């Protein structure tokens, strides 16, 4: 059992969304993948886009950037309708796709120099530093790079223009832990500049925790919620009730989002849990009670 989480507007008064989506729908072969998406992304935050495999994360990101046509709805980037990729706005966007085709016959340096010509504010010094820090040989052909090295190069290509909006679709899937940590350090450094926004699709929840991201959950073709990670931790708790003989059905509690019955335990994911009410429930049912704060990975497993 699960319930849509409805939470109040942002408490810090953020305004002027970088991205605004209304009624977005997208189907493939009569299968509706995105079902009337309504979503706003504020400026100056990292947004962690979570969802199970097949939830439509890649499709959503491609629709946002005009790389995949939509069936219905509207998408606005920087206050203007996104019809197709192009125009001055694209100088303000960096994108790392889940799979990417880099020119295998080109050398790393030549590829970056070629790409730089398309951007108004390409940071050559940053690109050169990242090549050195990430041990990418500028003279090596792209086709000779490993998958992890190609992914690093794609990240350099996306970061070097100094984008106001950086969109990342599973960007660290092929990186080892050390390379992931180095990438996250660059991402956090980028976010120190005012007005920078990142949309970051990943299954590695530790990276989102490191970035103190706002979490957006995509499930069943719709956005279930978008909330700061700290707020999710504050408002969502797991109540574990244990008694001999188990539970024929889940106890009824206010704010229940999901119940899992296992052996002698009833594990209840609860929004805005009332400890006194839970203690009273445990006393009535002859059960012991413990209240836990779930990790982001726990929440993803429970709610996605």
> Is residue 151 one of the residues assigned to a domain?
yes
| pLDDT at residue 90, rounded to an integer | 77
pLDDT of 85: 59
Model confidence at 127, pLDDT cuts 50, 70, 90, reads very high
Domain membership flag for residue 42? yes
303 pLDDT tier (thresholds 50, 70, 90): confident
Residue 7 lies in a domain: no
Helices within the chain (DSSP H only): 57-64, 108-116, 124-133, 147-159, 177-191, 205-210, 229-235, 275-285, 296-303
In the predicted structure, residue 281 carries a pLDDT above the cut 80: yes
Question: What digits encode the pLDDT tens for the residues 255-265?
Answer: 999 999 999 99
| pLDDT tens string 14-65 | 447 899 999 999 998 888 999 999 999 999 889 999 988 888 999 999 999 8
Q: Is residue 74 part of a domain?
A: yes
Share of the chain above pLDDT 90, in %: 52
Domain end point (choices 220, 254, 283): 220
Is residue 226 situated within a structural domain?
no
Q: Which two tokens stand for residue 210?
A: 């490191």
Q: Is residue 12 included in any domain, yes or no?
A: no
pLDDT band at 86 (very low <50, low <70, confident <90, very high): low
pLDDT band, very low/low/confident/very high, at 9 (cuts 50, 70, 90): very low
Q: Look at residue 10 and tell me if it is in a domain.
A: no
Any domain includes 122: yes
Can you give the CATH number for the domain in which 95 is found?
3.40.50.300
Mean residue pLDDT of the chain comes to 87
**Both 50 and 147 in a single domain?**
yes
Sheet holding 222-228, edge to edge: 93-96, 165-169, 197-201, 46-50, 214-219, 222-228
- Residue numbers of the domain that contains 286: 235-303
Pair (45, 158) in one structural domain: yes
> How many domains does the chain fold into?
2
Inter-residue long-range contacts of 122-129, CB under 8 Å, 24+ positions, other chains counted: 122/160, 122/161, 122/162, 123/160, 123/161, 123/162, 124/160, 126/159, 126/160, 126/162, 127/156, 127/160
pLDDT, position 81 = 83
| Same domain, residue pair 184 and 96 | yes
Q: Are residues 109 and 242 in the same domain?
A: no
């Amino acid at each position: 059992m699960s319930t849509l989480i409805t939470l109040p507007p942002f408490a810090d008064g953020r305004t002027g969304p970088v991205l605004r989506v209304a009624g977005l729908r997208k189907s493939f072969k009569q299968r509706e993948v995105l079902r009337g998406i309504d979503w706003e992304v504020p400026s100056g935050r990292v947004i962690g886009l979570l969802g199970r495999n097949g939830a439509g994360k890649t499709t959503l990101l491609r629709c946002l950037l005009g790389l995949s046509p939509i069936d219905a709805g509207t998408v606005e980037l920087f206050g203007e309708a996104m019809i197709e990729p192009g125009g001055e706005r694209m100088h303000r966007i960096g994108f790392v796709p889940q799979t990417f085709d880099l020119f295998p016959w080109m050398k790393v340096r030549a590829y970056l120099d070629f790409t730089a010509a398309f951007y108004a504010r390409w940071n050559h010094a940053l690109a050169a530093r990242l090549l050195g820090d990430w041990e990418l040989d500028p003279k090596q052909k792209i086709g000779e790079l490993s998958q992890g090295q190609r992914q690093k190069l794609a990240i350099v290509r996306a970061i070097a223009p100094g984008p106001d909006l950086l969109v990342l679709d599973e960007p660290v899937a092929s990186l080892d832990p050390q390379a992931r940590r180095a990438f996250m350090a660059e991402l956090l450094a980028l976010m120190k500049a005012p007005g920078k926004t990142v949309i970051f699709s990943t299954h590695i929840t530790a990276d989102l925790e490191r970035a103190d991201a706002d979490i957006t959950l995509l499930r069943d073709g719709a956005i279930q919620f978008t909330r700061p990670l700290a707020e999710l931790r504050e408002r969502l708790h797991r109540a574990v009730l244990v008694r001999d003989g188990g539970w024929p059905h889940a106890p009824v509690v206010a704010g229940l989002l999901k119940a899992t019955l296992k052996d002698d335990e009833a594990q209840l994911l609860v929004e805005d849990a009332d400890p006194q009410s839970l203690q009273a429930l445990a006393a009535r049912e002859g059960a012991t009670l413990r209240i836990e704060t779930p990790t982001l990975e726990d929440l993803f497993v429970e709610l996605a």
